[in-house]
Amino acid sequence: MDKEFNLVAAIRIILKWKRPIIILTLVAGIVAGLFSVFVMDEYYFSWATFYPTNQYLGDRSVIFNSETTGGQLDYFGGKGDINRILTIANSEPVMNYIIDSFKLTQHYKIDTNKRYWRTKVRKEFDKNYEAIKTEKDAVQISDYDTDPKTAAAIVNAVMEKVDVLNKQHIQETKESLYKVLSTQIDEQQKKVNENANTLASMASEYNIRSTTAAGNTILVEGKDFKAVQEYKALLAKQENALKELNNRNNIKEQMEVAMKNNASSLFVIENAFAADRREKPVRSLVVLITMLITAFVSIIGVFLIEQIQDLKKQL
């Protein structure tokens, strides 16, 4: 090849073909604009921001200050709480709940008669949905949708479901402990009743009398020394059993208060709202990128045409 291909030669080629390049670029821009208006779906963006709260604040020991905490408790949760919230927000139960609740299969117009239709729904939703930790250590849930109200409703529904699942394990643990404690109280009450019956029977059989002296000291009197000693031992045992029963009943009442506390485990900074303007596509950007790509491809094309023509001349 005799003609050297350099910058000057390239500029000459571009100027020679400038009219077709400009026309093709403008046509591509017009087509891209029409495509973005009449074909591309408009998506609206909704988001919500919140912090997880410290669920230990709802424990009976904190409510009734029955245990020392070793320092002031933070109202908001820590890094572990944030990671747990993010895991729940991206979990399969939440995804399936949203897909089923909002009938996203029909919303995304996916044919259920085709194979792997549920996977397609999930992938489509994953493209539009996101749950992340912000720079301020808050959790942000967002969603794109062609309907602004649906986008906001999905985000708020995710928050509600995350809150339920986040509290579920702790609530179930409280309920389990409550059942165990109730069983122990029933057993302890049986012991107290048995001791009371035995004390009444011994008092009647051995003519034992018990009176309360100064300082709440209980005096036990009777003619049978051995029976009196047995009575005193059983009476002390009964006193301890009653104290334990009262203590467990107090704990049970405190647990009932804690279990009725249905406060949200999320401190919501801003709920999702229906956007009043679309987020994408950015039509000007679509047109600009299309025109730049077309112009670039056109220039490469005319370079190839010129090179082919030069080759033909030399053959």
Alpha-helical regions (H) of 46-147:
60-63, 79-89, 92-101, 104-107, 117-128
Q: Which residues pair with 221 in a beta bridge?
A: 209
Q: Could you state, in order of their start, the residue ranges of all structural domains in the chain? A: 18-290
Going by pLDDT thresholds of 50, 70 and 90, the confidence category of residue 1 is very low
Q: Is CATH 2.30.29.30 the classification given to domain 18-290?
A: no
Rg from Cα positions in the chain: 39
Please tell me the distance from the alpha carbon of residue 26 to that of residue 189, in angstroms, as a whole number.
Answer: 90
Lowest mean pLDDT among 86-90, 105-109, 117-121, 303-307: 303-307
DSSP 3-state of 211: strand
Lowest mean pLDDT among 65-74, 132-141, 255-264: 65-74
Over residues 205-218, the mean pLDDT reads 77
Question: How does pLDDT run across 18-43, given as a tens digit for each residue?
Answer: 898 899 989 988 888 888 777 778 89
Please tell me the distance from the alpha carbon of residue 133 to that of residue 137, in angstroms, as a whole number.
Answer: 6
Going by pLDDT thresholds of 50, 70 and 90, the confidence category of residue 224 is confident
Q: Is 203 exposed, middle or buried (0-12, 13-18, 19+ CB in 10 A)?
A: middle
Question: How does pLDDT run across 155-171, given as a tens digit for each residue?
Answer: 999 999 999 999 888 88
Compare 65 and 95 and report the one with higher pLDDT: 95
Q: Is 52 exposed, middle or buried (0-12, 13-18, 19+ CB in 10 A)?
A: buried
Over residues 33-58, the mean pLDDT reads 82
